[in-house]
């Protein structure tokens, strides 16, 4: 044939004819590897198409509408007949994938990937010809043209081949790296796997299962289950996304034997090419297929493997995990540093300089140091500075004044129509929100947290003298603050739902996989919708991770976790809250001291309580800054499709890089790609650390006491906000971390066990209010404990007992 090559006619040397993708598939097919059959439309066919449709004359005057004109061109009879004949040879109305394949040998396929289009589940000759023309046209998308210009590649004299390959309706699919791309150890291979079509992994839409294989040992040496939240499968035409069924999410999608089969075929491919390979594969009907293979081009030969972290580095890392339970995206790093800088300013006033613990390199790889501390002579003035630092009248006045002004500014920004703003104006808004977050953080630490800690420590001996079981955290009982108000508001909303049986039935039937369910409930129950909106107006910026500025999600942005929480709370008995503890403490103070001394002590206690209210309020205000900034960032994501292929790709830029967007279209696309690939390394770093120390008894977990008490019960492991509706009354909540958005679950729990946290964390404070035992900072409770397992939580000793 003149314009088409079947796979059996293609070798790896034919890159200039059928492109890199076509050449690799033909090479593997002819090497006897399990590649689904197909054919390639050559670069000559593309050149002829451009000539016959008179598009060549327009190449030098490229415009945005040029792409649509190319897609509307005509295929001439000879090429159409060849396409029809080769397509029929694959089988009657066979489902095929249609992919662009770059023919430029000096513009490698691995770098060129993503610049053109792929069309999946194409059926019938008419659909096939349309997809081929769309592939031709994709060579002149704004994104592809910009990329070639940045690569100093001729935009006019460029050609394109198209690969048509029989589609495999995979039950499981994924990507195999024939060396570990994270550690870069040539002895290790890494396999990513998920349910359905491989597009879910390639596009970064799921966290896959991960298997690590040692070539020397010939076995799987490590594996980690991913959430596999999304499943991509065939639609009537094209493909569709669905939520992965819970049963499939909760298990590995490959048996060890299946994974070993993939590793073995990967070794064959690497040996055939003689270089490390990035291989896409699929399993259909129990048979393994190879869909693509290309050289791994992201290896950094000069980067040494990250050494084991010291105890001090782990301590620093664990502090970050408690506030940021998922790895930071590059766009999250600088906002975290802003908060850290606000805290450091206070230390500096006291004569202590603390170095940063967190850093990120150009490739998006995070690392942690133990931080450095330098003491200046100013530290000798701390006893005199404490009087100034703990002046409640001044601290309260400065806080109230600043918060009042900042809230007005945030209210104005929250109603701004960002769709009307220019790119420069959007970036300016992000800058202003980051400045506001820094101002809030300075107020939070200087005028509230530091004074609170100082006064609490000064009061501790007196409190211990009254009752050795009283600590400074008990002073926060029966106090109205943001997290507590959120819990009360949720209880009230739940109580309203309980009174309306049809509404309760609708919410009880709510499934997080149904994307239209929330809108339907709000539409059907207008009174409830109004009450829900009032709740969101007050608490809607509460997010999944308070200190992750751009990587977290608030209830305003996605109410799925909120409805899962409400659904869980509908099972509760609305137990009475522990609200007498504070009054008991006051009574003991009155009994133990003279009226004058008791009044002075009560005044100091009220100051601590006031500081805590402001601490909570400041955190929510920071979350509001972040939520408004996220909204703008994702608007910018839409404005630059030539940089950002996916809706949240902007998360892989730094804040400074976002600030530079108004200056033109910088070469950020490759940075995004590299940092997305390296996110896996950050996830492994996060997951590798645990807070708990070495246990002498394998059946005991040691943490810290968040609240006293003793409880025996069954484990309910909750790892994400979307799992809230798994919680049943009386369960022992076992989780990696909690923040304020988790605390309403405590009304259902008989006890709390968490990997992170301390006595002043939200978990501990709210556990005391509900009077349930809490053991926090266990380190690896979520790894060791399983759902339905019976355990004993001893809050007095800060331990958890269980049977292995």
Q: CATH code at 267?
A: 3.30.470.20
CB 351 within 8 A of CB 381: yes
pLDDT of residue 109: 42
In a domain, 695, yes or no: no
Burial of 347 (0-12, 13-18, 19+ CB in 10 A): middle
699: number of Cβ within 10 Å: 12
Least Cα distance to 75 among 136, 138, 155, 22 occurs for 136
Distance CA 321, CA 572 (A): 30
CATH number of the domain residue 745 falls in: 3.50.30.10
Phi then psi dihedrals of residue 707, to 5 deg: -160, 145
276-to-202, 415, 648 alpha-carbon distances in Å = 18, 52, 30
614 within domain boundaries: yes
- If asked whether residues 718 and 793 sit together in one domain, one would say yes
Same domain (yes/no): 575, 616: no
Q: Which two tokens stand for residue 221?
A: 């040496």
Residue 644 lies inside a defined structural domain of this protein = no
- Report the Cα 147 to chain-centroid distance in Å: 28
| 335 in the same domain as 246 | no
3-class state of residue 557 by DSSP = coil
We report the CATH number of the domain holding residue 99 as 3.30.1490.20
In a domain, 649, yes or no: no
Residues 472 and 490 in one domain: no
The helix/strand/coil state of 101 is: strand
Do 469 and 370 share a structural domain? no
What pLDDT, on a 0 to 100 scale, did the predictor assign at position 306?
Answer: 44
Which pLDDT does position 440 carry in this prediction? 97
For the entire predicted model, the pTM comes to: 0.61
CB 358 within 8 A of CB 340: yes
The number of domains in the chain is 6
pLDDT score of 759: 63
In this structure, the answer to whether residues 381 and 396 fall within a common structural domain is no
| pLDDT of res. 490 | 92
**Would you say residue 671 lies in a domain?**
yes
Q: What is the 8-class DSSP label of residue 121? A: E
Residue 21's Cβ-count burial label (10 Å; 0-12, 13-18, 19+) is: buried
Residues 744 and 603 grouped into a single domain: no
Alpha-carbon Rg of the chain, whole angstroms? 30
In the chain the first and final C-alpha atoms are separated, in Å, by 67
> In terms of domains, do 609 and 671 share one?
no
Sheet holding 38-41, edge to edge: 4-6, 38-41, 160-166, 96-102, 118-122
Answer yes or no: do 273 and 410 share one domain: no
Phi, then psi, of 214 in degrees rounded to 5: -95, 120
Q: Which residues contact 62 (CB under 8 A, 6 or more apart)?
A: 140, 145, 155
pLDDT score recorded for residue 108 = 45
Burial 116-150 (b: 16+ CB within 10 A, else e): bbbbbbbbeeebbbbbbbbbbbbbbbebbbbbbee
Is there a single domain that holds both residue 523 and residue 416?
no
At residue 287, the pLDDT reads: 95
Q: Which of 586, 615, 649 lies at the terminal end of a domain, its last residue?
A: 586
Please report whether residue 796 resides in a domain: yes
Helices (H), 214-354: 246-249, 256-273, 311-323, 330-349
Q: Identify whether 645 is part of a domain.
A: no
What domain range is 225 assigned to?
Answer: 172-295
Residue where a domain terminates, one of 243, 268, 295:
295
Tokens of 475: 């002073």
Looking at the structure, tell me whether residues 267 and 356 fall in a common domain.
no
Residues 109 and 154 placed together within one structural domain of the fold: yes
Residue 288 is predicted with a pLDDT of 96
Which of 482, 495, 618, 493 lies closest to 539 in space, CA to CA?
Answer: 482
Q: Are 652 and 330 in contact (CB under 8 A)?
A: yes
Give residue 705's pLDDT.
83
**CA neighbor of 118 nearest in space, from 95, 145, 136, 98:** 98
User: Residue 653 and residue 670: Cα distance in Å, rounded?
Assistant: 11
The series of mean pLDDT values per 10 residues for the chain, 804 residues long, is 94 89 92 94 94 77 70 93 96 92 58 62 94 89 61 67 92 90 78 87 74 91 84 80 86 94 93 87 94 73 45 57 79 91 83 72 76 68 82 96 97 95 97 97 95 88 81 78 90 94 93 84 95 96 88 92 89 64 88 92 94 95 97 95 91 94 81 85 68 64 85 91 85 84 83 79 71 85 90 92 78
In a domain, 658, yes or no: no
> What's residue 153's pLDDT?
62
Three-state secondary-structure class, residue 151? coil
Q: Which of 683, 704, 715, 703 is nearest to 791 (CA)?
A: 715
The answer to whether 10 touches 28, Cβ cutoff 8 Å, is no
Assigned token pair, 629: 């900034």
């Amino acid at each position: 044939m003149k314009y088409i090559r079947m796979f059996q006619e293609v070798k790896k040397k034919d890159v200039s004819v059928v492109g890199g993708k076509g050449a690799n598939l033909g090479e593997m097919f002819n090497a006897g590897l399990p590649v689904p059959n197909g054919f390639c439309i050559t670069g000559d066919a593309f050149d002829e198409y451009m000539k016959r449709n008179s598009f060549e004359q327009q190449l030098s005057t490229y415009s945005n509408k040029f792409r649509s004109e190319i897609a509307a061109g005509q295929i001439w009879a000879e090429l159409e007949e060849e396409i029809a004949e080769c397509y029929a040879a694959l089988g009657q109305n066979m489902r095929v994938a249609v992919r662009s394949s770059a023919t430029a040998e000096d513009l490698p396929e691995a770098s060129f990937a993503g610049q053109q289009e792929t069309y999946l589940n194409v059926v019938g000759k008419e659909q096939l010809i349309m997809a081929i023309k769309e592939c031709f046209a994709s060579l002149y998308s704004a994104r592809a043209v910009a990329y070639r210009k940045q690569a100093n590649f001729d935009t006019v004299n460029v050609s394109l081949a198209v690969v048509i390959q029989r589609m495999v309706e995979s039950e499981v699919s994924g990507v195999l790296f024939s060396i570990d791309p994270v550690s870069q150890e040539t002895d290790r291979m890494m396999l990513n796997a998920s349910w359905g079509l491989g597009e879910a992994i390639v596009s970064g839409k799921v966290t896959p299962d991960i298997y690590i294989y040692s070539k020397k040992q010939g076995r799987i040496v490590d594996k980690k289950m991913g959430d596999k939240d999304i499943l991509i499968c065939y639609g009537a035409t094209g493909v569709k996304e669905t939520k992965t069924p819970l049963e499939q999410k909760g298990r590995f999608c490959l048996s060890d034997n299946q994974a070993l089969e993939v590793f073995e075929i990967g070794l064959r491919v690497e040996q055939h090419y003689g270089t490390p390979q990035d291989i896409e594969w699929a399993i259909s009907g129990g048979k393994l297929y190879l869909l693509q293979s290309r050289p791994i081009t992201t290896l950094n030969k000069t980067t040494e493997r990250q050494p084991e972290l010291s105890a001090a580095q782990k301590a620093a890392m664990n502090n970050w995990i408690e506030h940021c339970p998922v790895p930071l995206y590059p766009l999250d790093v600088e906002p975290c540093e802003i908060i850290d800088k606000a805290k450091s300013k206070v230390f500096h006033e006291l004569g202590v300089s603390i170095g940063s613990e967190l850093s990120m390199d150009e490739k998006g790889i995070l690392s942690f140091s133990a931080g450095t501390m330098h003491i200046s002579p100013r530290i000798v003035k701390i006893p005199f500075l404490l009087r100034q630092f703990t002046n409640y009248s001044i601290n309260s006045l400065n806080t109230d004044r600043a918060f009042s002004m900042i809230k007005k500014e945030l209210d104005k920004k929250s109603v701004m129509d960002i769709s009307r703003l220019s790119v420069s104006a959007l970036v300016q808004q992000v800058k202003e929100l980051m400045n506001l977050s820094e101002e809030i953080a300075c107020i939070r630490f200087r005028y509230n947290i530091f004074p609170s800690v100082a006064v609490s420590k000064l009061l501790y001996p007196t409190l211990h003298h009254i009752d050795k079981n009283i600590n400074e955290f008990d002073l926060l009982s029966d106090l109205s603050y943001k997290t507590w108000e959120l819990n009360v508001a949720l209880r009230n909303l739940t109580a309203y739902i309980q009174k309306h049986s049809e509404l309760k039935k609708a919410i009880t039937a709510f499934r997080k996989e149904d994307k239209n369910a929330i809108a339907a409930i709000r539409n059907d129950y207008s009174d409830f919708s109004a009450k829900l909106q009032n709740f969101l107006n007050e608490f809607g910026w509460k997010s999944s991770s308070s200190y992750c500025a751009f990587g977290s999600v608030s209830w305003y942005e996605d109410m799925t976790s909120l409805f899962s929480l409400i659904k869980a709370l509908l099972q509760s008995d609305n137990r009475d809250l522990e609200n007498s503890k504070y009054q008991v403490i006051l009574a003991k103070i009155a009994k133990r001291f003279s009226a004058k001394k008791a009044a002075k002590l009560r005044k100091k206690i009220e100051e601590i309580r006031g500081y805590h209210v402001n601490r909570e309020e400041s955190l929510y205000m920071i979350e509001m800054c972040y939520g408004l900034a996220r909204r703008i960032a994702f608007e910018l994501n839409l404005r630059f499709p030539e940089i950002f292929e996916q809706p949240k790709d902007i998360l892989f830029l730094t804040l400074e890089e976002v600030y530079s967007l108004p200056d033109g279209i910088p070469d950020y696309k490759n940075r995004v790609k590299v940092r997305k690939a390296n996110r896996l390394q950050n996830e492994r770093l996060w997951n590798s650390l645990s807070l708990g120390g070495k246990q002498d008894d394998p059946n005991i977990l040691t943490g810290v006491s968040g609240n006293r008490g003793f409880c025996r019960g069954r484990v309910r492991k909750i790892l994400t906000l979307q799992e809230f509706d798994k919680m049943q009354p009386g369960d022992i909540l076992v989780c990696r971390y909690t923040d304020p958005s988790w605390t309403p679950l405590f009304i259902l729990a008989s006890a709390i066990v968490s990997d992170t946290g301390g006595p002043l964390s939200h978990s501990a404070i709210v556990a005391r209010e509900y009077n349930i035992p809490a053991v926090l900072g266990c380190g690896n409770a979520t790894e060791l404990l399983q759902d339905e397992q019976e355990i004993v939580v001893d809050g007095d000793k800060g331990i958890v007992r269980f049977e292995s």
